[in-house]
Amino acid sequence: MIEEESEIPEIWTNKLTKIYGRGGESVKAVNQINISTKSGIHGFLGPNGAGKTTTINMLIGAISITDGKAKIKGENAGSIRARRIIGFLPQDPSYYEKMTGEQYLTYIGELSGLRRHDAKNKTLELLKNLKLIEARDRQIGKYSEGMKQRIGIAAALIHEPELLILDEPTSNLDPIGRANIIKDIKDLSKKVSVFVSSHILSEIEQMCENVTMINKGKIVLTDTIKNIKKMHSIKTGQNIVILNTNSNDKMIQLLKVKDFISNIWIDGNDDKIHIIPKDIELLQKSIPKMLIDNNVILRDFHQPETSLQDIFIEIMEDEVNKK
């Protein structure tokens, strides 16, 4: 049976492995990892030295695969067909800094196989879309770091790839530059699939629905961020709801006798009511009526969400404790 195109993963690996060196001096940088990504933005996250860049270099064909398999939309990683599918921005891109932005992109377009006329047209389109048109005649060496990252993304897009692979795209940028690149990536994902690596988890959380975590060359977890947070909540039992009113003592007395409350207390750190409900929906339905009936003013009612970074740190600590 022939797979329909929509079912083919953007990136697929099976026991993908990279070993540097031989014998006792060998280092297993990537250790039998399995990845399968869909369209959209997929985050590839882990600490520095986790194996992210090595994995990406195998996917784009920059280094050889020691063992296992990797495919890009069904094509063998490193093949000419697979390379045509990919647009790539490395962690530390280099440029011909005496070229202007327009000259550089046109040159890259021609190297990618575009006719000069088409390369020029595509260059102008990308310069406009990435807000670089006013700097088209400026030498790249005089660009800010954020502008250099955007010209790098433009170069990766010049041949109209189906998959954009970005390795630490916000590295060395200030907060404004980071925010702009994140917005650019989210906008681009409407037209092209994106696989983005980063060790800055807050940025991955802003961009992605699906993530793969890697540490010391091994895949630790791969899932949607929503599912990861849900599983973490169930595992830790931290289904906590925080309530704050102008009469917390009265509210805690009213709530602690309810069947849908598992535990309730006033936390000494914030002086707010912390609730562990048996049925959170019933709690949410009951609170408004209780407030009105008892003439109590609501100041705060929310369920705090653990950040992806906090969860990742816990997962990494668990991995260390297993050894």
3-state secondary structure of 264: strand
For CATH 3.40.50.300, list the domain ranges present in the chain. Answer: 5-224
The pair of structure tokens assigned to 158 is 């010049």
pLDDT value at residue 310: 76
Residues 6+ apart with CB under 8 A from 219: 33, 34, 35, 212, 213
Helices H / strands E in the chain, number of each: 11, 14
For CATH 3.30.70, list the domain ranges present in the chain. Answer: 239-302
Dist CA 11 CA 163 (whole Å): 9
Per-block average pLDDT, block size 10, for the chain (323 residues)?
Answer: 63 97 87 96 91 96 97 96 96 93 97 95 96 96 94 96 95 88 93 92 89 93 86 65 94 94 89 90 93 95 78 70 58
pLDDT value at residue 269: 81
pLDDT value at residue 268: 85
pLDDT value at residue 134: 96
Tell me yes or no: is domain 5-224 CATH 3.50.50.60. no
Report the half-sphere exposure of 128 (CA within 13 A, side-chain side).
6
What pTM did the predictor assign?
Answer: 0.78
pLDDT value at residue 1: 36
pLDDT value at residue 3: 44
pLDDT value at residue 319: 61
Looking at domain 239-302, its CATH architecture is: 2-Layer Sandwich (3.30)
Dist CA 104 CA 110 (whole Å): 10
Neighbours of 47 (CB within 10 A): 16
Q: Where are the beta strands (DSSP E) in the chain?
A: 11-20, 27-37, 41-45, 67-72, 75-76, 86-89, 163-167, 193-198, 210-215, 218-224, 241-245, 261-266, 273-277, 298-302
Neighbours of 174 (CB within 10 A): 12
